[in-house]
Copies of this chain bind each other. A is one copy, B any other.
């Protein structure tokens, strides 16, 4: 939930003068995106999302994010298409902040995803990975394995406030992951945050992937592992094998996993669970009381870390090894 910055009609009308979107009919601040201020615009040519990038987004990363959306959209991926200004650019300035307009995607995100949604998101993730192969820009993943220890060091001191024994559990996992993290797997552009609230459906059809502001270059199978964590666990933190099978089946139908990638799924999933546990833990300890931002429980991801530790074969996630290539 956001909208940190309000804008006046005059400012917005001035900004829109650089575009050819027709007449402005309305704009509403919308409660989406924790990091930025988002407005839903109606103009005489349709609906758009205007985003003002607040301080947590590095302006130097914007050409990567905006360029990626345009690249993927032009290759048939259902994602917002950045709108070009008259001068050809896609990043402007409004209310002192970098700002961009993208097309509005109809669709709803699933508060309680079902098996079919998991299959569709698997397919869409694979299609995105393939479409991203020839994207020219790159961005390092600051939240991959080498980023976890610095993050942990900023939370460790108070970690036991959240759950007793958390510190030693994290230390052990962190050491294991740093030691054994794979590096020789296919890499490319990953979404890195493809949670249910970033995937829209219209009926049974996946109508959009949004929020590319964590996208980066990393192991493609790590993105699959993030989705396993985000889509295939129930509210009680139990793993739903049918959902795992659907998500992995959907993915491998579009982009088969190599045997090495398949074998790495347990460690990648364990790492993904730790990554989200750590950012949630940090936010949990550092979000002021009374803030309207919804704190997400780090312990959900501690439960997943424990689950993944017990996995010996990717088939336990529902992967059919016939779907994995040599």
| Residue A288 lies at the interface, judged by CB distance under 8 Å to chain B | yes
Question: In the docked arrangement, what's the CA distance between A281 and B47, Å?
Answer: 39
Stretch at the interface among A2-10, A128-136, A302-310: A2-10
> Do residues A29 and B26 form an inter-chain contact, with CB atoms below 8 A?
no
Question: In the docked arrangement, what's the CA distance between A291 and B32, Å?
Answer: 18
Q: Which of B12, B107, B290 contacts A288 (CB 8 A)?
A: B290
> Do residues A10 and B111 form an inter-chain contact, with CB atoms below 8 A?
yes
| Residue A137 lies at the interface, judged by CB distance under 8 Å to chain B | no
Tell me whether A111 and B8 are in contact in the complex, defined as CB-CB below 8 angstroms, given that A47-B42, A290-B288 are known contacts.
Answer: yes
Question: In the docked arrangement, what's the CA distance between A201 and B3, Å?
Answer: 22
The interface bits of chain A over 108-138 (1 if a CB of B lies within 8 angstroms of the residue's CB, else 0) are 1111100000000000000000000000000
Contacts of A202 in B (CB 8 A): 25
| Residue A1 lies at the interface, judged by CB distance under 8 Å to chain B | yes
Question: In the docked arrangement, what's the CA distance between A32 and B31, Å?
Answer: 10
In the assembled complex, the CB of A283 is this many whole angstroms from the nearest CB of chain B, namely 15
| Residue A106 lies at the interface, judged by CB distance under 8 Å to chain B | yes
Contacts of A104 in B (CB 8 A): 26
Q: Which of B8, B30, B110 contacts A9 (CB 8 A)?
A: B110
Contacts of A47 in B (CB 8 A): 42
The interface bits of chain A over 133-159 (1 if a CB of B lies within 8 angstroms of the residue's CB, else 0) are 000000000000000000000000000
| Residue A15 lies at the interface, judged by CB distance under 8 Å to chain B | no
| Residue A292 lies at the interface, judged by CB distance under 8 Å to chain B | yes
Q: In the assembly, how many copies of this chain are there?
A: 2
> Do residues A29 and B27 form an inter-chain contact, with CB atoms below 8 A?
no
| Residue A93 lies at the interface, judged by CB distance under 8 Å to chain B | no
| Residue A40 lies at the interface, judged by CB distance under 8 Å to chain B | yes
Contacts of A106 in B (CB 8 A): 25-26, 42
The interface bits of chain A over 19-47 (1 if a CB of B lies within 8 angstroms of the residue's CB, else 0) are 00000111111111000000010100001
> Do residues B40 and A9 form an inter-chain contact, with CB atoms below 8 A?
no
Question: In the docked arrangement, what's the CA distance between A287 and B262, Å?
Answer: 53
> Do residues A28 and B24 form an inter-chain contact, with CB atoms below 8 A?
no
> Do residues B108 and A9 form an inter-chain contact, with CB atoms below 8 A?
yes
In the assembled complex, the CB of A43 is this many whole angstroms from the nearest CB of chain B, namely 10
Contacts of A112 in B (CB 8 A): 8, 10
| Residue A289 lies at the interface, judged by CB distance under 8 Å to chain B | yes
Interface centre among A30, A107, A109, A288 (most CB of B within 10 A): A30
Contacts of A291 in B (CB 8 A): 290, 292
A-B contact pairs, 20 of them (CB 8 A): A3-B31, A6-B111, A8-B112, A9-B108, A10-B112, A24-B108, A25-B106, A26-B104, A26-B106, A26-B107, A26-B200, A28-B28, A28-B31, A30-B30, A30-B31, A40-B40, A289-B290, A290-B290, A290-B291, A292-B292
Q: Which 5 A-B pairs have the closest CB atoms?
A: A29-B31, A8-B111, A25-B106, A9-B108, A290-B290
19 more contacts with CB within 8 A, not counting A25-B202, A40-B40, are: A1-B3, A1-B29, A8-B111, A8-B112, A9-B110, A10-B111, A10-B112, A24-B108, A26-B104, A26-B200, A27-B108, A28-B30, A28-B31, A28-B40, A29-B30, A29-B31, A30-B30, A30-B40, A291-B292
